[in-house]
Structure 1
């Protein structure tokens, strides 16, 4: 009697129906709601989803070793080439040592949501490449 919630693969109404009919108690959808008029993310962030291709989406590793799926962009290319200087520390869940941390993930996420994708990390789901326009949730 443990509720099962399916997440990570639900992109369409048909997906939702499929997993509920297989016995899931619920589903979690996130990626599909980013490129909507109702989402409060910066338009540049939403456009990153609209413009990405399947091959742009890769697993990246945070400064503390946690994996995440992101749209590779100018920022992720710079990170792969070396350390980005950390100028401010945030109150992170897992603290880092700025002296040997490749970049500040908090700042990278804040930059992305504010629309500065040159300095931002754009996390996404595996299906982000399927989004081709910004729509309304309704």
Structure 2
């Protein structure tokens, strides 16, 4: 049996990324209903709304789902951990990223939950495994949103992580369909995680303006912000991202740039639809997305396509 499916008790090894501001409960449920593993995101949510989305997911599906905690994006993540503890019987796993997971891994495992750790290098993957992580989600530079400063591509990262750790490895960044899923698994991944593809779905609560921007994207429609802060963010190009780029050139200091890329500006564009007033986290695969569909349909089609490709004779 596939290692990811066995660990998460799902049908197919397709995971939904945390999706700051727009990783809602109904989307998580739809991914899980498709046989994958949906996740409720905590970034950009109040503690009360985070709890509400967990309950919405549990009402909409009886299948396993999880939650995501981006550590550094919470001033105090303790209340979110307490919500997880309160509803641990509804949750299968917790994914951790954007910070050092050392403090949280034992806390979550003591709740009886699986721990998935997002990494961007083989070194940090090995460290996470030594701390007790049950699964590594290694994310390449192609991914939308926050990326690792090493800027390793999924193509190079996956086999290096797979060589380094013994726990299941999930590939993220550049995954959008059955072909890319099959490619990742040929590199050694046990499964895949997607973010941008799940934004352009009927169940995602992202604003229609953001979804339309994804549908209109070309292959060169994303760019990197805040590289000088050693915390690169991949976003869709727009007037606001241009403003940030210009500010980075004129005065590349933490004090000048950090206020421009705070989460509220992410939320203004992605959730409120005010695209000119904020930035939109988005992966390089956006140009391959042509339709807003049900997440459940996407998961099932991807799994079928990937299986057919992996079972077909390789022509050289």
Same fold (TM over 0.5): yes
Normalising by the residue count of structure 2, what TM-score does the alignment of the two structures yield?
0.36
Equivalent of residue 215 in structure 2, options 36, 43, 50: 50
Contact 1:75–1:121, Cα closer than 8 Å, also in 2: yes
- Find out whether 1:136 has 2:301 as its counterpart: no
Q: CA deviation at 1:22?
A: 4.8
Mapped partners of 1:80, 1:74: distance in 2: 10
Mapped partners of 1:32, 1:124: distance in 2: 9
* 2:234 match: 69
Equivalent of residue 126 in structure 1, options 284, 302, 312: 284
- Point out which structure has higher relative CO (alpha carbons under 8 A, 6+ apart): 1
* 1:105 match: 262
Which structure has more helix as a fraction of its residues? 2
Spell out, residue by residue over 1:96-136, the C-alpha distance to the aligned partner (whole angstroms, 9 max, x if none).
64xx3461422211101211101110111110111122122
* 1:33 match: 198
Spell out, residue by residue over 1:20-75, the C-alpha distance to the aligned partner (whole angstroms, 9 max, x if none).
35542221111111111111101111111011112221111178441011111011
* 1:12 match: 177
Q: Alignment RMSD, CA only? A: 2.3
Contact 1:62–1:105, Cα closer than 8 Å, also in 2: no
Unmatched runs of 5 consecutive residues or more in structure 2: 1-165, 249-253, 298-316
| SS across alignment from 1:110 | helix
Unmatched runs of 5 consecutive residues or more in structure 1: 84-95
Structure 1 stretches (4+) deviating beyond 6 angstroms?
A: none
Larger radius of gyration: 2
| SS across alignment from 2:234 | strand
Mapped partners of 1:15, 1:82: distance in 2: 35
Alignment of 1:80-119 (within 5 A): 80-82=245-247, 97=255, 100-101=256-257, 103-113=260-270, 114-119=272-277
Q: Cα–Cα, structure 1 residues 17 and 75, in superposed 2: closer, same or farther, change >3 Å?
A: same
Mapped partners of 2:281, 2:266: distance in 1: 8
| SS across alignment from 1:5 | strand
Stretch moving more, 70-79 or 16-25: 16-25
Normalising by the residue count of structure 1, what TM-score does the alignment of the two structures yield?
0.76
